[in-house]
Structure 1
């Protein structure tokens, strides 16, 4: 660095000075932009250079539907765990505050609702396995 420089960017050692221009059809441009989006690079020039010199480009494809499904599934199971905690608290309260007949009656109702909840949980597991199978099939076709 010379003594006259007062600041700013450091000069590049191997500055890119050679420029090339090429033209694409609308179809080619759409494909180019799609590949650029998949690569995750934000600079077209860097993307083209990496393609020309066969540098490895990682393509990340984000399936918005799968992400939404996983988020909803996580929320569902969080609610399911919360119900389990509440279930234990209700059973304890029934035994301490009510007589045997009322406790048996309410436990019977609670058992019926628990069976319904177990059926819903099984359906969710089946749907999740089907979704996973579909995802694996799509992944193999890519």
Structure 2
């Protein structure tokens, strides 16, 4: 009964680690170990080395900054497209209400020409996005 009695403090662990092993690395080996830990996303050297010794596999998750930047700018570009769509509707409404038919048709023709250029740019952006997606899927496999 005296064995089960605990006065306080930390709870006792069933399988307590009390054996210690010490490793010494030279500078190159230590740098390689730190790089491997960073790639694996580990923060504690002891658990990382224990995992390597006992054959635990670790996954490396790489974050591609160029892809992240591309996606950020792509979403900003599509937000601008939404703004252009709203402005497009306002412009057409004002042309219809405030100008003569001939002047409105002239301005609508110019607006249509700019819209075709915007559609061409959109097609290029979509092609680049598809290329980026193909490159990314090849890298991840």
Q: TM-score, normalised by structure 1?
A: 0.81
Distance apart, 1:11 and its partner CA: 4.1
Distance in 1 of aligned mates of 2:28 and 2:6 = 52
Distance in 1 of aligned mates of 2:7 and 2:27 = 49
Distance apart, 1:2 and its partner CA: 4.7
Distance in 2 of aligned mates of 1:17 and 1:97 = 87
Distance apart, 1:76 and its partner CA: 0.7
Partner of 2:32: 31
**Is 1:139 aligned to 2:140, yes or no?**
yes
Partner of 1:87: 88
Aligned to 2:114, the other structure's residue is in SS state helix
Q: Alpha-carbon deviations, 1:37-69, whole Å to 9, x = none? A: 111121111111122223343321111111111
Partner of 2:16: 15
Deviates more, 1:53-62 or 1:100-109: 53-62
Distance in 2 of aligned mates of 1:108 and 1:27 = 67
Q: TM-score, normalised by structure 2?
A: 0.82
Q: Which runs of 5+ in 1 are unaligned?
A: none
C-alpha distance 9-91 of structure 1, shift in aligned 2 (>3 A): farther
Q: Which runs of 5+ in 2 are unaligned?
A: none
Aligned to 2:130, the other structure's residue is in SS state helix
Partner of 1:42: 43
Aligned to 2:23, the other structure's residue is in SS state coil
